[in-house]
């Protein structure tokens, strides 16, 4: 997982039409886990995606910078845009969209620890936390929804680090992962 203080500058690209690809739940090479959903790179000079932030006086901001996030509804803010040159061949075939978005919003990494009672032997707490936005996205369209993200945690240790955007409220719901016997997940808010 990329922490929200991962910064980049001075990127150079020669003879390429793809700069930044993030694997998604449709296009992945392995299980789509927490870090895959929560990549974050601050582009301090615009060299990753070609975007910079402009202040109220029309000058380039030196205090805030665009941040590249996985292009998921949960990560998007109302003023996010698709990241240029982040659509690889697999994405064109399976999704038809770039894998990364650029957001001018203030993004933070929420570090959360939670242990749900477990029936598993040993110290593991394999559980799932579902983070849902309290506000609606895509209001007034047929896609209107409360965007959510399901996180699995780190190796059954009860640790999660989702990215959250300032100004939004979130609800967290804990669920025990399905055990090998296929029992249904229990949940708790």
The pLDDT value recorded for residue 69 is: 86
Beta bridge partners of 102: 68, 81
Q: Are 76 and 170 in contact (CB under 8 A)?
A: no
The pLDDT value recorded for residue 188 is: 45
Query: And the tokens for 89?
Result: 């061949």
The pLDDT value recorded for residue 2 is: 57
- Averages of pLDDT over runs of 10 residues in the chain (189 residues) are 73 84 72 75 86 88 85 78 82 80 81 69 73 84 83 75 83 72 46
C-alpha separations of 170 from 17, 89, 95 in Å: 36, 34, 27
CA angle 77, 83, 84 (to 5 degrees): 155
Cβ neighbours of residue 183 closer than 8 Å, sequence gap 6 or more? none
The pLDDT value recorded for residue 121 is: 65
The pLDDT value recorded for residue 59 is: 92
Residue reference for tokens 């896609």: 143
Closest CA to 72 of 49, 100, 33: 100
Distance CA 138, CA 141 (A): 6
The pLDDT value recorded for residue 189 is: 45
In the chain, alpha helices (H)? 34-37, 89-94
The pLDDT value recorded for residue 120 is: 60
């Amino acid at each position: 997982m990329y922490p929200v203080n991962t910064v980049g500058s001075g990127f150079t690209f020669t003879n390429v039409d793809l700069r930044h690809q993030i694997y998604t739940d449709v296009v992945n090479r392995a299980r789509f886990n927490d870090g895959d959903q929560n990549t974050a790179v601050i582009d301090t000079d615009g060299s990753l995606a070609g975007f910079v932030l402009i202040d109220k006086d029309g000058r380039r901001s030196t205090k805030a910078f665009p941040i590249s996030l996985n292009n998921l509804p949960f990560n998007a803010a109302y003023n996010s845009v698709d990241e240029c040159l982040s659509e690889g061949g697999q994405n064109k075939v399976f999704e038809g969209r770039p894998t990364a978005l650029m957001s001018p919003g203030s993004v933070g990494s929420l570090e959360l620890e939670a242990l749900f009672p477990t029936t598993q032997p040993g110290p593991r707490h394999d559980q799932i936390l579902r983070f849902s936005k309290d506000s609606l996205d895509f209001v007034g369209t047929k896609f209107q929804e409360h965007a959510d993200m399901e996180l699995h945690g780190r190796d059954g240790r009860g640790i999660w680090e989702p990215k959250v955007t300032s100004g939004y409220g979130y609800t967290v719901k804990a669920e025990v992962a399905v055990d090998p016997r296929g029992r249904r997940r229990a949940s708790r808010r």
